[in-house]
Chains A and B, each alone.
Chain A
Amino acid sequence: MFDFLDSGQYDLLGAFWVTAKLALYSAIGSLIWGTALVSMRVSPVPLMRSFGTAYVNLVRNTPLTVVLVGCLLGLNQTLGITLGGGRSEDIGFRLAVLGLVAYTGTFVCEALRSGINTVPAGQAEAARALGMSFTQVLTVVVLPQAFRAAVTPLANVLIALTKNTTVAAAIGAVDAAFLMKTMIENETDALFAVFAVFAFGFIVLTLPTGLILGWAAKRLAVKR
């Protein structure tokens, strides 16, 4: 039943490696972009606040598929942005990372915002009383605590991101979902086995993330 695994015809590990890399790069990128967005949303400059809010509301309500296809058709096919050139698989990969960052950043932003809300007002007030500027209040006092409070929602965002990498198959990144589609078409007899293999692969990818970050959430929780 599982003999398609030995045939050497499919690069299963390679496909999951692409998925893992997609998830990792996008996670780093969206954490940075999400932090930037949340900083804009709480900043004293009204225009930045409105930009942050508008961006989050627009992108969050757009299907990821549309975001990714937009990256491909708009940025690559029309504007000719290749993010460093190379073969189309690599370009597809980088565009997918870009799209995932743009999309997931909004969820990171929302998670951090809920984290900021758990920081008692007294903390920020005390910091201001010490004469700290907005940037200092945010980076030295509020955000570090917000991150620790937001570990659980952030973990959920990262797990969702790992699963969302499958959508990159829609723009030709050769990831696990792309391989699964091919295999379903070629190995119709072993349908259940194919599904089991990919399901297992994703459980292996997401479960540890959930467990580690759940443990981290407990350890990092701000004791009050």
Chain B
Amino acid sequence: MKLRTTSAAAAAAVVLALTATACGTGSDSGSNGDKINVGIKFDQPGLGLKTPDGKYAGFDVDVARYVAKELGFAEDKINFKQAPSAERENLIKNGDVKFVVASYSINDKRKKEVDFAGPYFLAHQDLLVRADDSSITKVEDLNAKKLCSVTGSTSAQNVKDKLAPKADLQQLGGYSECLTGLENKAVDALTTDDSILAGYASQKDHAGKFKLAGLRMSDEKYGIGVKKGDDELRGKINKALEKMVSDGTWEKLVKQHFGPSGYKYEPAPKVEN
């Protein structure tokens, strides 16, 4: 029996071409012995951002670097991994990362799944509004406004449940999407932690366009997430954080990352043990 050569050749060509594509992509394994995996945000300017040159920058990133150094890992031994908000608990629970520094506010629900070192920063839920917009001065003003936040975020939940149930809340995939709408007046305010908002407001492309409303609508204590029950690591990280505050690094980093935006940050919170 002779196969139809053309059909066979064609089919083989398709398979080969596809195999070639599949093989072209190598893979590198997650955790390896002398390196440490740390979860950060990749898309939050000022806190954790993957910059175009492939490096990472932001306050959280520098805190992570400092803590890792105290744990005995030099900067080139740190392996940064993206920790999107919804994935943070899972990354820690599955051991994909040793700890997470990603604007991770400590709350009871999360405490059931992971442990927190810190806090190392105190942020508040706030609003970002257009620089020339002075119509929002208190939380109640939001009820007649279009508000934007990120799908599933605690800030969104907070507004819906407590602060301004009547506000027209739009939930989008990312903060940049909200910013586009804010800039073009499709929404009136973007709500999340003031630290994140300050990061966006101080980007050079946004200079002078937006301002923080300065409403302290909640307290968000940023902690460093570690595996539940890993008290040894938690203790070490707490020590590192205390040292970071006492040797002045904390002040320096905060000035460096939040200074330009004119964001009035809180003093370093006391580490809870």
Contact = CB atoms under 8 A, between A and B. Distances in A.
Decide whether A and B are members of one complex: yes
A77 B177 contact: yes
Contact of A80 (B152, B172, B185): B185
Contact of A172 (B146, B151, B184, B185): B151
B181 A77 contact: yes
Interface string B161-177: 00000001111110001
Contacts of A77: 177, 180-181, 184, 186-187
Which size class do B's interface residues fall under? 10 to 19
Given A76-B186, A77-B186, A185-B152, A88 B180 contact: no
Contacts, number: 36
B86 interface: yes
Interface in A53-97: 69, 72-73, 76-80, 82, 87-88, 92
Nearest to A170: B173
B86 A78 contact: no
A171 B177 CA distance: 10
Given A88-B146, A172-B151, A185-B86, A78 B170 contact: no
B207 to A, nearest CB: 20
Contacts of A72: 172, 177
Contacts of B184: 77-80
A80 B185 CA distance: 8
A182 B185 CA distance: 29
A172 B170 contact: yes
A4 B184 CA distance: 41
A73 B184 CA distance: 10
Interface in A90-110: 92
A86 B181 CA distance: 16
Contacts of A87: 168
A205 to B, nearest CB: 24
Given A78-B186, A172-B172, A182-B152, 14 more contacts: A72-B172, A72-B177, A73-B180, A76-B186, A77-B177, A77-B181, A77-B184, A77-B186, A77-B187, A80-B184, A82-B186, A87-B168, A88-B146, A88-B170
